[in-house]
Structures are given as structure tokens and as C-alpha cells.
Homo-oligomer: A and B are copies of this chain.
Amino acid sequence: MESNDLRIFRAVALEGSITKAAQMLGYVQSNVTARIKQLEAELKTQLFYRKHGMILTPTGEKLLPYAVQILHLLDEAHKALNDSDKPTGRLAIGANHTVSSLQLPQILSEYHKAYPDVDLSLTTSSTDELIYKILHFQLDGAFVKSSSFIDDNIVEELVYEENLVLISSPETDDIRTACSKPFLMNTIGCPNRVNLEQWLNAEGINNIRYMEFNNLDFIIEGVMADLGVSFVPQSAIQRYETKGLLKSFSIPPQYSTSKTFFIRHQDTLMTSALAKFIETIESKTPYHQIAH
């Protein structure tokens, strides 16, 4: 019993006539006769009384609601897939710990408001793990900091460029004094920290001490309390600096520029849910260009 058998069965049942059903379906009458007889043989039961027309037997009446529902579902399924203007389904996004706290909540919130039918999921993990999941199609895309991923299957898009500054308590006189204090930083592997170390190296500053914090607010509070110094997005501390709660020092752009990328598999199916997500990213950020 296949769905087309049920389509023919339904037509005959509703029309009460093989001839009319055949016209409706665009078949020739003899074919409809054959299909119905075949269905009756397969189900080992009579579905119609033939009385100069076709009248459902009690068994046929049992089958009809199933036929109607199954055909309706087939129709629904077709619509659900082809109705691709309306973003629906699941959208699995990943993010490195470094990016999740700042722009991402805004982007997700705005996207969810615009497209509430999409089930958003956010996975926060290390960049390596994010890349693995993208290569295995477990994520539709991810926000990461570092670029150039070797793998040809990954396409990346710059979505945000931030300026990192060295921050310290207001009393600090100069950069070198600041650098003698402990650095309140994220755990190893954070790209900001890699940049920082490169600069410190270039300046010939060694003997650096770290204190590990994985929360930006804690870090800022710690710096204001003169627990140590840090290296954070300028935008995140602007309001504290204007109030005189801390002091910031700029370092050369090749070290201070932090780039956020949206990466995805080059073969990801561009669903409307994903397309609209990328649109949302772009609308929130002045920068965007395709790399690789």
C-alpha cells in the first residue's frame, strides 16, 4: 500500500465513481479500475460495492480517514520544505568563550525577535571543538576570534573588529609600571592573550604573572580594585574610564586589533534561517567581507 494507491482510493471514494476519479486525477479509467482492484487484492478485502458507481464498504470507510490524513501530511511536508521564505527549523550556532559575552547576546536576541519560529541553539566551546563540529555539520556556523583555519572547507567572514587596550587602576603612571602587575586574563588559548604576549615580547617585557578569570566583569572589577591589569576591548571599559575609575593605554594596532569571524562549512545548506542570521550579523556590524 503506497501513497499513490491511497490518492486514487480517496478520489474514487469521494467521487463515488471511477470515471470521475480518473478525470480528476488525469488518468484513464481502466488504470483507476486496475489500481483499486490491486489495492483490494493487496489488502485482501473489498473496499467498494459496485452498484453502477462505487460505494464504500464498511472496511473502505475504515480506510478513508487514514488515506485522508496520510495525503494531508504528504502535502504538509512538501509545503514545510518548500516554504523556504519563512525561516523555520533549528539553527545551531557555536561561539568561542571569548566572543559569547559581548555582541552575541544582542545578535541572538534581535534574530529571535525577528524569526521566532527558528529554534536557536548556542554551543560555547573551544575554537578547535567548534571547527570539528562545523566540519562534521553539527553546527551551522560559529563565532571565533582567530582566523586562517587551514581547512579549505571552512569559509570565514569578518563580522567585528575591536580595539583592545591595556587597562590599569587610575593611579598607574605608565605602561611599563602597569605591566609589572599581574595580568587578569582568560585561560590559555584565548587569542587576546596571544596578541598580548607577542607585544610584551617585542617590548622585551618578561616575567609576566597571570591571574585567570573567565568573566569580563570580574576582570574589570579586579582592575579597578588595583588587583592587577588587563587587556580588554576598548568599548567594554569606556564608561569606566570617563568616570575616572580606571586608566587605559593603547598599544600598536597589529597587536591591539581583535577580529571576530563567523565561520561555517563551505557546503552548509543555505537555509533561509541561516541566510537571515547572516543578514542579522551584517546589519549589526559595519564590517563585513568574505575571506578565504
Contact = CB atoms under 8 A, between A and B. Distances in A.
Interface of A: 1-4, 43-46, 49, 51, 55, 57-59, 61-63, 66-67, 69-70, 73-74, 76-78, 80-82, 84, 88-91, 135-137, 140, 265, 267, 269, 271, 273-274
17 contacts: A1-B78, A2-B3, A3-B70, A43-B82, A44-B82, A45-B82, A51-B135, A51-B137, A55-B137, A58-B90, A62-B80, A62-B81, A63-B80, A66-B74, A66-B80, A70-B73, A73-B73
Contacts of A66: 73-74, 76-77, 80
A185 B59 CA distance: 41
Nearest to A53: B136
A66 B62 CA distance: 22
Given A89-B59, A91-B58, A77 B81 contact: no
Given A43-B78, A81-B43, A89-B62, A57 B3 contact: no
Contacts of A265: 49
B81 A59 contact: yes
Nearest to A136: B51
A89 B58 contact: yes
Q: Indicate the member of A44, A57, A82, A90 with the most B CB atoms within 10 Å.
A: A57
Given A46-B269, A88-B62, A90-B58, A70 B74 contact: yes
Top-7 shortest CB links A-B: A66-B77, A3-B3, A57-B269, A49-B137, A55-B137, A58-B89, A2-B3
A89 B67 CA distance: 16
Given A43-B81, A61-B90, 4 more contacts: A45-B84, A46-B269, A66-B77, A67-B77
